[in-house]
Amino acid sequence: MNDISFEEAMLELEELVKKLESQTVNLDESITLYQRGLELYGFCFKKLQDAEKLVVKINGEKIGE
């Protein structure tokens, strides 16, 4: 998943949710979309965690100056 940006992953995740909410997909496709959604969620969550750690590090360095 490293070839996708956070923003692209969020857009794809939003589209998956719309498809699932529309109830126009069959069960098998719903399961496939759900699995992809979990992958995207995990990817985005990790990106946000990494960003938060970086901000905390930067702020800690600024305070320590």
Residue 47 maps to a domain: yes
CATH classification at residue 30: 1.10.287
Work out how many domains the chain is built from and give that number.
1
Residue 38 maps to a domain: yes
pLDDT tens digits along 8-58: 999 999 999 999 999 899 999 999 999 999 999 999 999 999 999 999 998
Residue 29 maps to a domain: yes
* Residue 16 · residue 31 · CB < 8 Å: no
Residue 56's domain spans which residues? Answer: 6-63
pTM: 0.82
Query: b or e along 39-52 (b: 16 or more beta carbons within 10 Å of the residue's beta carbon)?
Result: ebeebbeebeeeee
Residue 15 maps to a domain: yes
Give the list of residues 6+ apart from residue 4 with CB closer than 8 angstroms, or none. 12, 43
